[in-house]
Amino acid sequence: MPEPDTSFDPHRYRSDFPILGTQVRGNTPLVYLDNAASTQRPRQVIQSLVDMYENKYANVHRGVHWLSDQSTELYEEARGNVQAFIHAAQRHEVIFTSGTTSAINLVAHGWGDRYIHEGDEILLTVMEHHSNIVPWQQLAQRRGCVIQYVPLADDGRLELDRLNQLITDKTRLVAVTAVSNVLGTINPLERIIEASHAAGALVLIDAAQSVPHGAVNVQHWGADFVAFSGHKMLGPTGIGVLYGREQLLDQMDPFLGGGSMIRRVKLDGFESAELPAKFEAGTPPIVSAIGLGAAIDYLQQIGMSAIRQHEQRLVQHAHEVLERVGGVKILGPGVESKTGIVSFVVEGVHGHDVAQLCDRHGVAIRAGHHCAMPLHKRLGITASSRASFYFYNTMEEVDLLGEALVDAKRVMRVKT
């Protein structure tokens, strides 16, 4: 792991985020540590949305007037921003969706309904978010395929020594998260993808917790499909991306039917449009996509390597702080194997109580199963608390989390 850049100053960027100056519950400063659920937005992104609605908005691709031309150009520029950010080979390999969930469902229907048959196998992992489990379970109900799972080791990492046994000649797809949204575990994608492709299986990567936090090159990964969301990387809600290799997207059926996704329609049938319009039926999320483009510009100005290193410092400090609190079990692997997520259980206190008591101190964390019930069952717990960081978080905020937890234990009369 590279030495962290201790010169990174999150205060340089915090002033760009109006909400970070919010006072909650009277005059308590907000400490926002729920970034794995959704990040906040800088003024630059907010202003891009305002500017579009006030000065440049029109529907895209359909009009022949000046305003439509302006809106279309900005919309496609945003697609180009995404292409460059994830290093896709072609701009039309970037499909705008409403989020990661929508992108995964697009593949489950557009590819799965066409190419998956009874007896075929799809390999998932125990640590997946529900959005990367349920669509495949629904596909299994429709097509009769079998779902298999890579188990989880006690250290919070996948038991990849069993990968070659689980990937068989029946495996058609391996769908895996790049980073666990609960444990923060960074999965070795290159190893998983290589083993999958060697067996003739395709690979879908849920990159919702990966793309916002470090440099991503989908071509180096060798992934067939990659899905992620804008709202987890400073962008608006309601916008996400499906990256797919051109050959695969060409072979897939459209997920939604309607306007824009057609080349021509007759009374007895239709012909699909070319990529990417084929998968962008109806009026697309125009302004949200442009806001995502602005978010990418902002992130690139900071540098994804700098963001990654700062988060590593925060996670290291968080581990140290929670260990000093005492009576706290940190879930998942060590700092060297995780990203900016620290989930934990406070002995004798339910996760929801922990989160509510932290909120008294203005500290916003997550509590519950985090849309990962099978993972929590594997861990033998019903709920956990989760602090998740981004580049605008500070060491002082991590200290405030520790103070809030100490007070939570006092209120609940839990002994260290």
Query: Is 255 found in the same domain as 395?
Result: no
Total structural domains in the chain? 2
Query: Is 295 found in the same domain as 307?
Result: no
| Residue where a domain stops, chosen among 250, 265, 300 | 300
Query: Is 332 found in the same domain as 261?
Result: no
Query: Is 295 found in the same domain as 386?
Result: no
Judging by DSSP bridges, how do beta strands 171-177 and 121-125 pair with one another? Answer: parallel
Answer whether residue 2 is part of any domain.
no
Residues catalogued as catalytic: 371
CB 143 within 8 A of CB 117: yes
Q: Which two tokens stand for residue 353?
A: 């109580």
* Whether residue 384 has pLDDT greater than 80: yes
Query: Is 238 found in the same domain as 146?
Result: yes
Angle between helices 304-325 and 286-302 (to 10 degrees): 80
For the question of whether the overall pTM of this predicted structure is more than 0.95, the answer is: yes
Q: What is the pLDDT of residue 373?
A: 98
DSSP 336: G
Query: Is 314 found in the same domain as 296?
Result: no
Query: Is 247 found in the same domain as 230?
Result: yes
Q: Which two tokens stand for residue 395?
A: 């060491």
Percent of the chain with pLDDT over 90: 96
CB 241 within 8 A of CB 103: yes
Answer whether residue 85 is part of any domain.
yes
Q: How many CA atoms lie within 13 A of 186 on its CB side?
A: 16
Q: What is the pLDDT of residue 6?
A: 61
**Domain extent for 121:** 46-300
pLDDT digits (tens, 9 = 90+) for 77-94: 999 999 999 999 999 999
Query: Is 212 found in the same domain as 343?
Result: no
| Residue where a domain stops, chosen among 277, 300, 323 | 300
| CATH of residue 237 | 3.40.640.10
| CATH of residue 337 | 3.90.1150.10
* Whether residue 126 has pLDDT greater than 70: yes
Q: Tokens 């070319």 label which residue?
A: 274
Of all helices (H) and strands (E), which one includes residue 164? helix 163-166
Q: What is the pLDDT of residue 26?
A: 87
pLDDT digits (tens, 9 = 90+) for 331-346: 999 999 999 999 999 9
* Whether residue 415 has pLDDT greater than 90: no
CB 275 within 8 A of CB 92: yes
18 prior amide bond cis, ω within 30: no
359-375 burial, b at 16+ Cβ within 10 Å, e below that, comes to: bebbbbbbbbbbbbebb
Degrees (nearest 5) of the Cα angle 411, 415, 416? 115
